[in-house]
Amino acid sequence: MFVDYVVLERKKKRNCRKKKAGLQMKATIRLDKMLGNLGYGTRSGIKILVKQGAVTVNGKSVKDHGMQINPTQDVVVLDGETIRYRDTVYVLLHKPAGVVSATEDSRDRTVIDLLDEDLAVLSPFPVGRLDKDTEGLLLITNDGKLSHELLSPRKHVPKTYRALVAGDVDKEDAEAFQQGVTLDDGYVTMPSQLSVLAQSNGEDAPTAVEEGHAEEMIDAIKLAPRQEEPVQHATLSWIELTIHEGKFHQVKRMFEAVGKKVLYLRRVSMGPLRLDPALAPGEWRELTEVELESLRNYRKDGPA
């Protein structure tokens, strides 16, 4: 009994020490690492800058490139510029067609290549994948925990897409998607919500089924020829689909399952995040505090 108590007390103390050490480790960072993380050069380059007297900390010139800095308290100035430290990055990208959702690729440009160097240096990665020819909302971050939770198959984070589909997408398709369709590998999809926003018979201008979507469909038709095999169809449908999982090529394969082909695909939302209409394909911006907060709350409150 007494032995158990002693073991427990020792364990508590150990954990407490570990916690304190952890906090200390997080609170400070080497000066050269901090500047390196922010993209101000390599460790050796920064060492030279510091030796040359280009850096002051709290108003005093420093010569020790390895000194510990508390980024939230110490004021670091490099060549007259006050440095604001950050170690996380959250970017909302309007992914254009033609770039791959990866951090590196030997053939294609990646979504990371579209970012500024001072963000890319923080090692961000895309949260999930969009196909090379898919456009739309892509979250890029270096927050592994957030990414893991958004992608977790148990969370069923909804993802909404708009797509130009060859053929007459109708109520039967919507019912089939609500029930779940069988993909080419035998997987039966979870219930998803499909609605038709506009349609065209291929010759006349599209008719909006839901107010205001005809214009958007015309734009999508202009983008669609980027597809490998243009499909001539009497009817084209501009649709919106919300899925709650993320299988490989899921939207395209779901339409294949009902005998139709996706000609153009754009993701417009993921969880609480919406594609910013002010961002043209290829443009990005960092998440606002409100968006970040909504993501964090979504993680907490979202479906388990």
Q: Which among 131, 133, 168, 170 is annotated as catalytic?
A: 131
Q: How many residues bind ligand URA (CB under 6 A)?
A: 8
Judged by CB under 6 A, the chain residues 262 through 301 that form the site for ligand URA are 265
Four-CA torsion 301, 143, 277, 244, nearest 10 degrees: -50
Residue 37 in contact with ligand URA, rule: CB under 6 A: no
Contacts for 18 with CB less than 8 Å, ≥ 6 apart: none
Catalytic residue flag (residue 204): no
Nearer to ligand URA, 65 or 252 (CB): 252
Closest to ligand URA by CB, 131 vs 216, is 131
User: Is residue 130 within the footprint of ligand URA (CB under 6 A)?
Assistant: yes
Closer residue to ligand URA (CB): 261 or 296: 261
Q: Is 134 in the site for ligand URA (CB under 6 A)?
A: yes
Residue 60: φ, ψ to 5° = -110, 135
Site for ligand URA (CB under 6 A): which residue of 113, 131, 216, 240?
131
Considering the complex, what minimum distance in angstroms separates the CB of residue 135 from ligand URA? 9
Site for ligand URA, residues 227 to 266, rule: CB under 6 A: 249-252, 265
Q: Is 146 among the residues that bind ligand URA (CB under 6 A)?
A: no
Residue with smaller CB distance to ligand URA, 37 or 134: 134
Return the active site residues.
Answer: 131
What is the binding site for ligand URA (CB under 6 A)?
Answer: 130-131, 134, 249-252, 265
